[in-house]
Amino acid sequence: MQRHARQLRKEMTNAERLLWSRLRRRQVAGFKFRRQHQIGLYICDFASLDGSIIVELDGSQHVARAGYDSRRDSFLRSAGFRVLRFWNDDVLRRTEGVVETIHDALHRPEMDGRFD
């Protein structure tokens, strides 16, 4: 599993690369984020362990995988994380809004879910 996570870090999508440039080095409210971080059997796009937040970026393939994503999100929530999901296109077109939503979620524990 670790090898797979390492490979995913090397092959990031444009949206992942862009968002990582904004999340790394504690740029969002001082919270540390990890990319392609394993939690249980799942590899999460971005995780802030101290903020208890998982950020997932979804492309068109996730429309067909809604059931899998739902089970995965349930597991991550049961492990104490909030899950924020964004479409790749939103990250590419509205980067500042996505980063602001993540920032707000780090300060408002009730925020969870998909943001379109």
pTM: 0.87
Helix residue ranges per DSSP H, 24-65: 61-64
How do residues 7-30 score in pLDDT, each as one tens digit?
777 889 999 999 999 999 999 999
Six token digits for residue 85: 């999901």
Q: Are 53 and 115 in contact (CB under 8 A)?
A: no
How do residues 54-107 score in pLDDT, each as one tens digit?
999 998 664 557 788 899 999 999 999 999 999 999 999 999 999 999 999 999
Domains of the chain plus CATH, in order, are 2-111 (3.40.960.10)
